[in-house]
Amino acid sequence: MNTAFSIDLSPDAAEIERINSELDMVGQAEDWPMAFDYNIRLVIEELFMNIVMHGAKNDKCEIELSLESNSEIVKITIIENGVAFNPLTDSSAPDLESDLSERAIGGLGVHLIRNLVDDIDYKRVSGRNSISFSKRK
Amino acid sequence: MEINAEHVNGLLLAKPKDRIDGTNSRVFEESLVEAIGDSGCSVILDFEELHYISSAGLRAILLTAKKVKNTQGQLVLCSLTEPIKEVFELSGFDKIIPIYANRDEALAALSS
């Protein structure tokens, strides 16, 4: 079975709820296992919140999120016209070692993304940021 | 967001429900810090009814764990789903925040 959707989003954290409504439908229709479902949602939220916090400097930022899914793989692409920002190279490295008092905050989102996807790619195309990731079922 | 906090034997037992994400992590952190109070106490976060947390939620937990440590308390977690446990491990949080299988084990560890 092949599934696809595309939605336009504004750079507002509250849009996570709308993203989740779309994912609810696909996840239920395809019977995604709990961990797979969680990881897909997590990676999308991390990428989306990066755009909200770093990329989108004004309300004119337009974000398009699309999903394609087949029996083997889910592929998500997020394209937006915010300032050039590659989360894979422009984010700080996380602190995974310090003790609790010294543990630095930040960089965890991209670290999680890298560890939870099978493939991820960033491109700057025609003044837009385009990031795609895929995860095997 | 609901955190269902109650004080038991000088500890705060909080059970966040459903999700901690970029839309509610600040409210979660503020509710938790308010429930802990100025004088501080140890905290058990019971994740039995939590099925989603993002890095925004991890940040809230790290900041709260640091505050609790500053008042000589300890913040611990229990009853994590497997996918959430994996995210705590990937984040290296399992090295700084104790994780217990269930509430009884967490209570026993903090009482000893």
pLDDT digits (tens, 9 = 90+) for A6-39: 999 999 999 999 999 999 999 999 999 999 999 9
Min distance A111 CA to chain B CA atoms (Å)? 8
Size of interface A-B (CB pairs under 8 A): 70
Shortest Cα–Cα distance, A101 to chain B (Å): 6
ipTM higher than 0.90? yes
The CATH number, out of the four listed (3.30.750.24, 3.20.20.70, 3.90.1150.200, 1.10.3720.10), of the domain defined by the range B5-111: 3.30.750.24
Strand pairing report for B99-100 and B75-78: parallel
pLDDT tens per residue, range B3-43: 889 998 899 999 999 999 999 999 999 999 999 999 899 99
Collapsing DSSP to helix, strand or coil, B20 comes out as strand
Mutate to test the interface with A, among B25, B54, B71 (most CBs of A within 10 A): B54
Q: Which of B81, B30, B58 is nearest to A110 (CA)?
A: B58
Provide the pLDDT for residue A1.
Answer: 60
Domain ranges of chain A: 3-136
Give the Å distances, CA to CA, from B110 to A124, A131, B37, B79: 51, 45, 18, 15
Q: For chain B, which residues make up each domain, given as ranges?
A: 5-111
CB-nearest to A14 from B23, B90, B97 is B23
B-chain CB neighbours of A115 within 8 Å are 90
Domain A3-136 is of which CATH architecture?
A: 2-Layer Sandwich (3.30)
